[in-house]
Structure 1
């Protein structure tokens, strides 16, 4: 047995069929073995194994030969005769020079599906061109495009089968979170919604805060007032309670902004005790940590990176190379179930590829914040989070109220919607008043903030998104792009549909994988 024969035999025995075929192609392309030498030795190995009854090894060699050399006759001595007969009768098989290639057509890629629809059979010596087997089409792809496409396909399949299940769960949770505020209000309507009067007029913020302060426990520390999102929403006063073991509990009080009466309260967050939180917060924690804890969020980020490249590979594999773009964007509904599943997988992937790439990229960027911040600095300087300064106590003067702090901030930002007021913490704490502009992409928070001295009402520091550098603007857009709120209801709807796409891709992808696996087993 020659060294080449031994190599072919060992690789075909030790490696999976597809892996050995890919490795044979790589060895041939590197010039370590000639393609015709590999084909000749593999064919000889097959003829040696058939008489000995080693059917399993012979079948593995059959597939390795098929992947790299194309369809072969049952016996090596019948090769020339069968080639001439097939070429004369059908025009399907003709000898070609080693290394010769022909342009790949869409029909070659869809041949396995066409064969499944027609249900035609082939004999062992001459392949019917009207109904090629699954492996024949894959061998054609291999011989005409090299191992690169095969590697992309195998990588896309492996990532899809394993990481795809996680992608489904993350996508479904993300679809819910696209309308998280509305869902939260709907589930907690008695707490979060109020009756809007005919002529809505909010009570002064000092009065609203005084009502909330009366309901906050003595060991509670007020942190923030969030203004209503719409005319029927309640104002929210957030406060924190620390236990003896320094464990923090974050609560929310809901106050009717038109009557300044407390409606109720709830526990909003408690460290790693996820299930004590509201439903939307549980879904949020699942979406970015899989309930593994904030310290393990990088695992979700790593899966996101794999899925990002899998979508790119899928887009490359989808690209019609015969110019028939319409065929790659439509589903042949009247065809077999296998063909419909295949077309659905391709179409859903093509239509949602850009949105999937955008959500994956922004999600990974938010999980790996330090790395994203470093990359943003390559675009332009990125300033650290603003320090709004410290208040200076004035002897004999009481601290100003919330309404006075808002009036000072409105001198800096006279237009915009009052979004929140971050309350002073300690004697030297400051008010931070956020005025959200109409064109601001982020609706959950604002980047137009003013720090106000709690004693004098003097403006200490400002944050104005209008003065952001390119890198800072990039960081600002990550979250609103990820959840779709940057583009209003339409953007949220698109994110919701994008969150459902992984489920469709996973189901159709698994069906396609099972179909090809059954077809491969039938040919062995």
Structure 2
């Protein structure tokens, strides 16, 4: 009798242990979803919009973003240094150009960013200047981000601030980073709860039909999170990188050495500064497979040109390469490549993953759908919680009625 009973006792104990762990994961998933659902819905919806922020901004501001392109296209661009110099003449003398988005279409303008101190707020405002590449002519300027009044921000800039900081400067960035970490935990707990312990994988991927509304709501919640799981993990992890960069890099450095960008400094050689045309030519000659997405102009004294390229890495995927070029000598100081296999390469993956550019238009659409999934998951999860709570209250009321003898009240 003993030899037969021991395995049964062991199996029963394992079943109790599994059920206890399941309850822990269930409570974790439930309370994280209820606590963060509204914030994640806002972050998700704004993130979906920002996947197409260039297209949205161009549609809202065609007079700034769109120009008449001649038949020869980019071959008719004015020299790049002339375009940059046009932008410099349009900004205050005590400021300098920061980064610049490169035109991705023949009818697009160069979009330069620069900062201007705001004496009222004591902080810098971010402005933009747009330049027609065919005429080297400014098409307009505007405030991108005001340090004093959010209502003065460009619409897309407002969306960015709502997305990564919930409109709260400083602490908002950290809060959204922590929310991303907790959302990652919630996502993992959802996978644990979904995992079919009975081995019936077909049922795990199916929707029961026809079924009551409660079951359909459950299946919708379960599958909406499941089918976008790879996108969710990539976007949440990269979101931590953007909002908690120092902490993220500290974790990466525990596995691999990272090179700090501030170490890529230009060395004054007594010669004239390298023109933008020459810097871009150097990057293009060295890495002809890439297409330029953005360029950061060098800071005075020892800053470097920073050229961001998108390039194919196979299997339909695009990576981002960052190239640092000495502003005096014109040689390459460093090139961080996502295929390098080190910590710097891992960091290079974060922006393509977060934006969806890693897989072109399909990737961007996947990230767009992932953002939309957050309010859907919150709504279906909240409804399921209400349904289970209502069922629990009804069951409790029935137990009270059964246990109470007639005339006891």
Instruction: Provide TM-score, normalisation by structure 1.
Output: 0.66
Deviates more, 1:282-291 or 1:375-384: 375-384
- Provide, for residues 291-319 of structure 1, a one-character-per-residue CA deviation record: whole Å limited to 9, x for no partner: 12133322222222222222222211112
- Cα RMSD (Å) of the superposition? 3.1
Distance 1:492 1:522, change over 3 A: same
The answer to which structure, 1 or 2, has the higher relative contact order (CA under 8 A, 6+ apart) is 2
Matching residue within 178, 189, 198 for 1:302: 178
How far the C-alpha of 1:518 sits from its partner, in A, is: 1.6
How far the C-alpha of 1:410 sits from its partner, in A, is: 5.0
- Provide, for residues 400-435 of structure 1, a one-character-per-residue CA deviation record: whole Å limited to 9, x for no partner: 643344445555445643455544544x35561626
Distance 1:239 1:194, change over 3 A: same
Matching residue within 489, 502, 507 for 2:374: 502
Q: Distance in 2 between matches of 1:417 and 1:350?
A: 34
Structure 1 equivalent of residue 114 of structure 2? 239
Matching residue within 32, 54, 79 for 1:159: 32
How far the C-alpha of 1:458 sits from its partner, in A, is: 4.6
Determine if the alignment matches structure 1 residue 391 to structure 2 residue 263.
no
Count how many residue pairs are aligned between Structure 1 and Structure 2. 383
How far the C-alpha of 1:399 sits from its partner, in A, is: 5.1
Q: Distance in 2 between matches of 1:407 and 1:315?
A: 48
Structure 1 equivalent of residue 86 of structure 2? 211
Q: Distance in 2 between matches of 1:337 and 1:183?
A: 37
Give the 3-state SS of the residue equivalent to 1:266 in structure 2: strand
- Provide, for residues 10-64 of structure 1, a one-character-per-residue CA deviation record: whole Å limited to 9, x for no partner: xxxxxxxxxxxxxxxxxxxxxxxxxxxxxxxxxxxxxxxxxxxxxxxxxxxxxxx
Distance 1:496 1:467, change over 3 A: closer
Give the 3-state SS of the residue equivalent to 1:262 in structure 2: strand
Distance 1:300 1:176, change over 3 A: same
How far the C-alpha of 1:493 sits from its partner, in A, is: 0.5
Maintained 8 Å contact 2:194/2:204: yes
How far the C-alpha of 1:101 sits from its partner, in A, is: 9.3
Matching residue within 343, 364, 375 for 1:492: 364
Which runs of 5 or more residues in structure 2 are unaligned?
1-5, 398-409
Give the 3-state SS of the residue equivalent to 2:147 in structure 1: coil
Determine if the alignment matches structure 1 residue 355 to structure 2 residue 227.
no
In terms of fraction of residues, the more strand-rich structure is 2
Give the 3-state SS of the residue equivalent to 2:358 in structure 1: helix
Q: Distance in 2 between matches of 1:387 and 1:181?
A: 29
Maintained 8 Å contact 1:225/1:236: yes
Determine if the alignment matches structure 1 residue 417 to structure 2 residue 283.
no
Determine if the alignment matches structure 1 residue 191 to structure 2 residue 56.
no
Structure 2 equivalent of residue 478 of structure 1? 350
Give the 3-state SS of the residue equivalent to 1:194 in structure 2: coil
Q: Distance in 1 between matches of 2:102 and 2:376?
A: 39
Determine if the alignment matches structure 1 residue 315 to structure 2 residue 185.
no
Instruction: Provide TM-score, normalisation by structure 2.
Output: 0.82
How far the C-alpha of 1:507 sits from its partner, in A, is: 1.4
Q: Distance in 2 between matches of 1:304 and 1:340?
A: 28
Matching residue within 104, 109, 130 for 1:229: 104
